[in-house]
Amino acid sequence: MADLPTLLLASLNPESRKQAEQNLSGLSTQPGFLTHLLRLVLEPSQDRAVRLSGSIYLKNITKLRWEEDVQPLAEQDKAALRAELVPAMLALSAPADKAIRAQVAESVSLIAELDFPVKWENLIDQLVASLSMTDYNVNVGVLETAHSIFKQWRAHVRSDQLFTEINFVLSKFMDPFMQLFRQTALLLLTKPSPNPALTSPKENYALLAQAMVLLVDTYYDFTCQDLPPAIEDSHEEFFAPGTGWFQAFLLWDPAEIKSDPDDTTPSLTSQIKTGILEIAELFIKLYPEQLQKSPAVETLVQSVWSLIGSNKLPGVGDDALVSQSLGFISTAIRSGYYKSLFSARETISSLVQGVVVPNVALREHDVEQFEDDPLEFIRLDLAVSATGIDLATRRQAAADVLRALVGSGYDAEATEIVGSWINTGLSEYASNKEENWKAKDSAVYLLTAVATRGSTTQHGVTSTNTLVDVVKFFSDHVFQDLQATSGTVHPILQVDAIRFLYTFRNQLTKPQLLSVLPLLGRHLRSDNYVTYTYAAITIDRILSIKHGNQLLFAQADIHDSALELIDALLTRIETARTPEKVAENDHLMKCAMRIIVTARQTLTPGYERILIRLVTILGVISKNPSNPYFDQYIFESISGLMRFVVAGSPTTLPTFEQALFGPFTIILQQDIDQYIPYVFQVLAQMLELHRGGSVPPEYRGLLPFLLTPAMWQQKGSIPGLVRLLKAFLSLDHAQMAASGQVASVLAVAQQRLIPSKLNDAWGIELLQSVVLNVKPADLQQYLKPIFLSLLTRMHANKTDKYVYLFAKFMLYTLAINVEGLNPDFIIKTIEEIQPQLWYQLLTNFIIPQAPKFPAKERKLAVVGITRLLCHSTLMLQEPSVRAWSATYSALGKLFSEPHLFDSKSDETSDVAITAIDFEEQAAGYQAAYSRLAASETSEADPLAYVQNPLQYLQQELEKLSAKYGQQVQALISAADGGRIG
């Protein structure tokens, strides 16, 4: 391990990164690697870059491999690392080590999520023992670590297991936490200082404030699920008007840690106040009765007013505090508990005038960001209002106060008061359009806010304030800016007009939307970054509108404009100079993808040019993949183009293959791991399009490469690889059996997939394809080892999911209609492993599992059991006959909900396409499987030979009764629930 520092440095260099990561991966399997790596991170004499790289590599191992079950980390190595992590955090408590400490803290958090408290019982004891009454560097390290563990509770669903963990923590951590909170609060708030050694110089005072930020965060963690008795008992101490800690901190403004007004990062004071208001908002939502014991909320609202009223905190560094303050007010209004506080007309008026209007107005910073950092402007402008790390902008938080008023019964007053501000803004603009464009911007934003009752990211506004005529406002005031040529109005007003369309797209009719599409198309060629990006976002969202389950726009609607729109978008993308810049704006690529999957066959005349341009862009960005969303959308575009063009003109398939095989080969050879999962899916899509024909030689040449162990290392590649192998098995099973490649496919399933809790479902899917496609004569030699490997996994690592998968595979082999593969063939193979084993599997796994099958798998279960009961002579002999009646009863349970067998299929050609939406999905590299929705085709149904499962059962039972008569009748009579049907 002596060359570990060299490898860690090499992993930072793009040219040597790939090789270094492979070497590090090899080293990481050696005993003692984890603790060796941690000690290297702690070694002050090491190069800082090595230490930081080591801390990141340690975090990645804990993230990706801590529970790996194919090449597992040794338990003794994991235990050794757990023992050293908290001391390591304390050793890194110096301010200079903050970045390294943050990575180690994340490792602690990731491991704790999996191992605490069962395998890491002493974690909290270690943290508590490390707290100090005098050394706040250490306290900050301990609190950071503790918060990184406890904050995960915020996102958890309530469960006994969660509350057991929380109570375990509270029993050990609550008292020291309270003690440290009180001491730290007194040191920060008391003048003169009770302990000058801890409060001076300024750096020490700032360290106390940093600890208080973490203490407030921890208070939120402790109350995010339930109210602990210690916190309930000390409620007055924290919340009491005038005397509570929270009240004192909201009014606290110490000179020692005042930050520069131009600083864009929140000051420690601002962070503490933001955290307190997050707690107050949480209490209104979860524990309103606690707050109503005293006028706590009324006092907090007063404090918020004195903090942010009349725009007292205009700096960017205070954005989070102002947004959270406004969020707190919105929640208080929506709660309905404080009607007396907000219902007076003058209160609403002063709220609008003093808080809403000043925070809706654009600041110089916003205008500069629009010009200098347009992507960040767009990201914030589209951000969903949320507390926590990704706070809404001031404008959104102020708008939400209006929405809260409108939605809480104050719509008439709010609409009237805001209406006068809107009219004032529009009049100001009309008097001097050059100078007063910001007044119109505020007016449009206020109208948008007051008109909105309900909205979602995906659908825009879903319900409006009936007192506002959105369409009239659009035609009177907004359409003119949408129609204006570039340069004649301020670009922000053009963006406002496009955003208005984006926001209220559901309130406009299809003809209205069709009439504005050409204008949006024109804006794609604007010189302004935000203008053309917003135009792309809006076109994408308009084309995604669905009424019921049907897309509103079809290929005929954009037949004439599709090629022109795609040309404008790709031209924009192509003008960038570097791979990073090309991939920077994923909104453009997403819009191109949306047009491709909407226009479909109408692109056939120009598809070759589009394909060449997409492949060229892919070649540029593959030099340095930097944006996972862009990657997803470009592969969706290629896949969607092929799907629809080939469906209409099958002779175009070779053109796609010629264009894609070269770039895909380079991606595989250069091991560009971000793209490999996509490549496998598109290759599978192309091979599936050869159904009914033979496999072209270039695909056959790939197969040995696909079966090498290295190909299966990357988790994200596995679904695409399985799909590709299934396509090979479907088309080329005879050749694969003759060349021994079926054995290689089975080796992958048995050694790599079935043993893994993460990938066992993919293993079963691959085995099902082998059983379906390979002739029983070729399959016979492999069947017994297949069952053995499945039973080995059952014995070694049984999970509920695996028991279901095992039962599903058994019933699949029974259900498929393959000549020579009958139930007795399966039973005999299993009996060769061990006599009477089939009876045990049937009674312990298949009978209990079958009735639990989900709706989409019920037909499989019914047909499998029907064939087992009716086509097997061994099921009528000892010992299996003893389970015949119980198996029939399981069938009865499956038929107890006949509506689940309705053959109405939602597998229309649109299902996959309408699934292409990633607003709420983190597209990710490596660990995550990035599914290509456009590439998915509906598979041939192996059970299509059974139209009506109940009729099939009755018909097969008749045949069986004709042969075995009384025995069958007696067995049916003995079944629980009696005769089916």
3-state helix, strand, coil in the chain (%, to 5): 70, 0, 25
Considering the chain, what percentage of its residues have pLDDT values greater than 90?
Answer: 77
Instruction: Output the pLDDT for position 387.
Output: 35
Closest-CA residue to 354 (of 407, 300, 301, 297): 301
pLDDT of 385 over the 70 cut: no
Compute φ and ψ for 550, nearest 5 degrees: -100, 135
Instruction: Output the pLDDT for position 388.
Output: 35
Question: Which pLDDT band, with edges at 50, 70 and 90, does 512 fall under?
Answer: very high
DSSP character at residue 775: -
Q: How far apart are the first and last CA of the chain?
A: 69
CA torsion angle for 33, 36, 42, 48 (degrees, to 10)? -70
Instruction: Output the pLDDT for position 65.
Output: 87
pLDDT of 235 over the 90 cut: yes
Question: Which pLDDT band, with edges at 50, 70 and 90, does 916 fall under?
Answer: low
Instruction: Output the pLDDT for position 713.
Output: 84
| Region 693-720 average pLDDT | 90
| Region 766-773 average pLDDT | 96
Measured between alpha carbons, how far is 239 from 246 in angstroms, rounded to an integer? 6
Measured between alpha carbons, how far is 979 from 391 in angstroms, rounded to an integer? 61
DSSP character at residue 363: P
Question: Which pLDDT band, with edges at 50, 70 and 90, does 911 fall under?
Answer: very low
Given a contact cutoff of 8 angstroms between Cβ atoms, the answer to whether 290 and 227 are in contact is yes
| Region 442-464 average pLDDT | 82
The enclosing H or E element of 133 equals none
* pLDDT tens, residue by residue, 708-748: 988 998 888 999 999 999 999 999 999 999 999 999 999 99
Measured between alpha carbons, how far is 266 from 798 in angstroms, rounded to an integer? 50
Mean pLDDT of the chain: 91
| Least confident piece of the model among 39-43, 218-222, 302-306, 648-652 | 302-306
Question: Which pLDDT band, with edges at 50, 70 and 90, does 905 fall under?
Answer: very low
Given a contact cutoff of 8 angstroms between Cβ atoms, the answer to whether 141 and 92 are in contact is yes
DSSP character at residue 798: -
Closest-CA residue to 355 (of 385, 330, 383): 330
* pLDDT tens, residue by residue, 456-500: 666 677 778 888 999 999 999 999 999 999 889 999 999 999 999
Instruction: Output the pLDDT for position 16.
Output: 86
| Region 129-157 average pLDDT | 93
If one counts every other C-beta atom within 10 angstroms of the C-beta of residue 834, the result is 10
Instruction: Output the pLDDT for position 693.
Output: 83
Instruction: Output the pLDDT for position 906.
Output: 45
Strands (E), 43-112: none
Question: Which pLDDT band, with edges at 50, 70 and 90, does 28 fall under?
Answer: confident
What pTM did the predictor assign? 0.87
Instruction: Output the pLDDT for position 264.
Output: 84
CA of residue 130 relative to chain centroid, distance: 36
* pLDDT tens, residue by residue, 44-67: 999 999 999 999 999 999 988 898
pLDDT of 910 over the 90 cut: no
Question: Is the C-alpha dihedral spanning 732, 736, 739, 741 positive or negative?
Answer: positive
* pLDDT tens, residue by residue, 816-841: 999 999 999 999 999 999 999 999 99
| Region 645-660 average pLDDT | 96
Contacts (Cβ under 8 Å, ≥6 apart) of 92: 42, 100, 101, 104, 141
| Region 858-874 average pLDDT | 95
Compute φ and ψ for 547, nearest 5 degrees: -110, 115
Instruction: Output the pLDDT for position 313.
Output: 84
Q: What angle do CA 53, 57, 59 make, to 5 degrees?
A: 120
**Strand, helix or coil for residue 550:** strand
Given a contact cutoff of 8 angstroms between Cβ atoms, the answer to whether 139 and 132 are in contact is yes
Instruction: Output the pLDDT for position 293.
Output: 86
Given a contact cutoff of 8 angstroms between Cβ atoms, the answer to whether 533 and 585 are in contact is yes
Question: Which pLDDT band, with edges at 50, 70 and 90, does 965 fall under?
Answer: confident
Measured between alpha carbons, how far is 953 from 901 in angstroms, rounded to an integer? 13
**Strand, helix or coil for residue 463:** strand
Counting every residue, how long is the chain? 981
pLDDT of 918 over the 50 cut: no
